Amino acid sequence: MSVNDVASSIKSMEIRGAGLIARSAAEALKQTAQEFRGSDLAVFRKELESGKKVLVASRPTAISLWNAVQATLRGAQEATSVEELRSIVVGNADRFVKRSSQAVELIGKFGAKRLKDGMRVMTHCNSKAALSVIKTAHANGMDIEVYATESRPWRQGLLTVRDLSAAGVPCTLIIDSAVRWAMKDIDAVFVGADTICSNGALINKVGTSQVAMAASDSRVPFMVCAETYKFSPRTLSGEMVEIEERDASEVVDPQLLPSGVKVRNPVFDATPPEYIDSLITEVGVIPPYAAYEVIVREFGQTSIFEGIED
């Protein structure tokens, strides 16, 4: 898919979930590189840079998108020919996509060790990384049951129960406001991540922080499944994460509302690190307070300023 097609599919939620968004962005830049027919290196660079801007603007919250385009264009400035630049971008994109898929698999393996036979797990929204844990445990022969939240307004919970049911995992769907009611019967919570901040806070689907608070209240372990490209070097340089707010019509038909009533539709929220037991990453299971070290290790001290314009 072209950059414009990927960006519009991300905006319209046909491509969703921070990992898939990242992989699709890398693939889109790869396609731009493969399809470039000119011989002018500066023009080629400009096309890739404008593709990067279009992709990054398509959804503001998940740092995975930013990290994916940065990783795909890494080393582009040093290329001395169109052919060299093309091969750098194609190689980077392929490596990113491969590493991303392997990370989801590893997170599944590491996270499954935190589950025991007979456990009932809650998950929120639809995270490939969190579902990888549950499906790996199930495939290892564990008897795991899942409570999935509906996740209004887009109802990604339906995707979750479809995916888990197809894998043979018994599922129960609950509405978002039933989380606290259900928590008394839950043994562990596993969710995904759009962004992990340098202080260990989690940015994920709106409602995640309420699930975390309910889990903490009931002493239920709250685990976050996050590939390292979900960690934000930008928060290390002081930036705040922008919480996307989408159109009110996703929540309610405006015609049903009395005039003057406003509707807000924030689609992500922040869960403080004190509510998080562990971050399950492809480089290991770590406490949220180790986020700083992961960022420095993965992205380097200097790269936190890379590509940051203001």
Q: Which range binds ligand RUB by CB under 6 A, 79-87, 133-141, 190-198, 254-262?
A: 190-198
CB of 212 to ligand RUB, least distance (A): 13
**Binding to ligand RUB by residue 207, rule CB under 6 A?**
no
CB of 77 to ligand RUB, least distance (A): 29
- Cα 172 to Cα 91, 146, 256, 309, distances in angstroms: 42, 6, 30, 46
**Binding to ligand RUB by residue 69, rule CB under 6 A?**
no
Rounded CA gap, 278 and 287, in Å? 5
Q: Which range binds ligand RUB by CB under 6 A, 110-118, 120-128, 175-183, 283-291?
A: 120-128
The SS3 call for residue 257 is coil
Q: For residue 255, which amino acid is it?
A: Q
Contacts to ligand RUB from residues 229-288, by CB under 6 A: 267
Rounded CA gap, 211 and 217, in Å? 10
Q: Which two tokens stand for residue 295?
A: 């960022």
Return the number of the residue (32 or 232) whose C-beta is nearest ligand RUB: 232
**Binding to ligand RUB by residue 129, rule CB under 6 A?**
yes
Return the number of the residue (43 or 263) whose C-beta is nearest ligand RUB: 263
Asked if 197 is an active-site residue, the reply is: no
**Binding to ligand RUB by residue 125, rule CB under 6 A?**
yes
Q: Which range binds ligand RUB by CB under 6 A, 45-53, 123-131, 133-141, 231-239?
A: 123-131
The SS3 call for residue 13 is coil
**Binding to ligand RUB by residue 156, rule CB under 6 A?**
yes
Of residues 198, 201, 192, the one with CA closest to residue 20: 192
Among 6, 7, 18, 171, binds ligand RUB (CB under 6 A): 18
Asked if 194 is an active-site residue, the reply is: yes
Rounded CA gap, 41 and 260, in Å? 54
- What does DSSP say about strands 202-205 and 268-271: parallel, antiparallel, or unpaired? antiparallel
Could you tell me how many residues of this chain bind ligand RUB (CB under 6 A)? 16
CB of 164 to ligand RUB, least distance (A): 14
Of residues 41, 55, 43, the one with CA closest to residue 1: 55
CB 304 within 8 A of CB 233: yes
Among 19, 51, 207, 288, binds ligand RUB (CB under 6 A): 19
Environment class of 181 (CB within 10 Å of its CB; exposed 0-12, middle 13-18, buried 19+): exposed
Of residues 83, 98, 96, the one with CA closest to residue 29: 96
Of residues 47, 64, 65, the one with CA closest to residue 56: 65
**Binding to ligand RUB by residue 67, rule CB under 6 A?**
no
CB 154 within 8 A of CB 265: no
Return the number of the residue (16 or 138) whose C-beta is nearest ligand RUB: 16
**Binding to ligand RUB by residue 26, rule CB under 6 A?**
no
Q: Which range binds ligand RUB by CB under 6 A, 12-20, 47-55, 213-221, 283-291?
A: 12-20
Of residues 217, 197, 208, the one with CA closest to residue 273: 197
CB of 253 to ligand RUB, least distance (A): 21
Return the number of the residue (32 or 108) whose C-beta is nearest ligand RUB: 108
- The CA-based diameter of the chain, rounded to the nearest angstrom, is 64
Exactly one of 125, 171, 197, 225 is catalytic; name it.
125
CB of 252 to ligand RUB, least distance (A): 18
CB 258 within 8 A of CB 192: no
Active site residues: 125, 194
Residues that bind ligand RUB (CB under 6 A): 16-19, 62, 125, 127-129, 156, 192-194, 204-205, 267
